[in-house]
Chains A and B, each alone.
Chain A
Amino acid sequence: MSEERPAALISHAEWLRPSVRYGVGAAHVVLLVLLVVVGLGPLLWLAKSAITPTNDTITHPMGLFPNGFAWGNLSEAWNNVDVARYFWNTVVIAIGSWASQLFVATTAGYALSVLRPKYAKVITGLLLTTLFVPGVVLLVPLYIEVVRPPIVHHTLIDTYWAIWLPAGASAFNVVIMKRFFDNLPREIFEAARIDGAGPFMLFWKIVLPMSKPILGVVSIFAVLASWKDFLWPLLVLTDPSKQPLSVRLPSIEGQTELGVFLAAMFIACLVPVAGFLVFQRSFLRGSGLSGAIKG
């Protein structure tokens, strides 16, 4: 029955002792209940309240539909509070940020790990130093640069480029991409080169197809980070019709009745939570498969 258990804090002999078995078992049940209440509870409450009439949520926040449902909250939020527009803004911002991050991280990782020009060490060093600079240092000069870009002289404020372009400068992405490429077998590159593949062919036909796992991980975190971002889009998108959900939610809080507002927040959670569940399931299937093979 045992799943893969790399660390065996509790030995088999100890596990056979009833005191250990029931003690640890009880601790696990308590932990699971706590995790359900703390981890899932707030989200369940949000889902419940999104379809509960506002008055019921205000007077009996922990009641379960004392006066029936209010499905209208969701459509009210989606259509009349313009959540639909903000939702699609969020999607467009996330897709652009994802593309920009993936483009920069894959090309840079490839150049620094596979092509390795002589000056690669210097660039990698510069890259690693940016990892240690706290984000707050960038905030004000980056904002001013977006308001008054040098050379271009056309403000990026209220365009999505103000979010997409800086998103590409993620040192973390480049470093993990480079580290993954570092571990790819060199012989394959040499073989491809002998067969006449140039650097572009090698990148497109060999390195990228071999890197699907890391591309997936970087993609998931890129989309999630973009969906969660608040301060930067708040600063550079001043036109409400262009703002993403995270920026709009605090502004509509005051002008919207509670039930509709909670419905809007529920909609804002849907994509990241659904994405996480899908990701988690494939993760579980992977470890479940290896468990089945072993057991």
Chain B
Amino acid sequence: MPKITYIESNGKEHVVDAPVGQTVMEAAVKHAVPGIDADCGGACACATCHVYVDPEWLSKTGEQNSMEQSMLDFANDVEDNSRLSCQIKVSAELDGLVVRLPKSQH
């Protein structure tokens, strides 16, 4: 199973086994990684699963879709590598993915 590393804003790392086909958000929530709220459960309705994708993984995680882009427009501390983790599907290719979490989702 692909492994994903989530790094909290205080530097604490969480390495999680993420089933292929689920999303990067789901894997975090199911393992209670603090810093990803995902109140809407992945319906792209709440913008509380914001992550920064480690630059070297950007080509593999793909681009923001247009709905996601609009949502991120209103999130805090958005960077070029910002994504909503509910919109990134886990694949074998993402084994080793590193994402960083913002200070706050609200």
A complexed with B: no
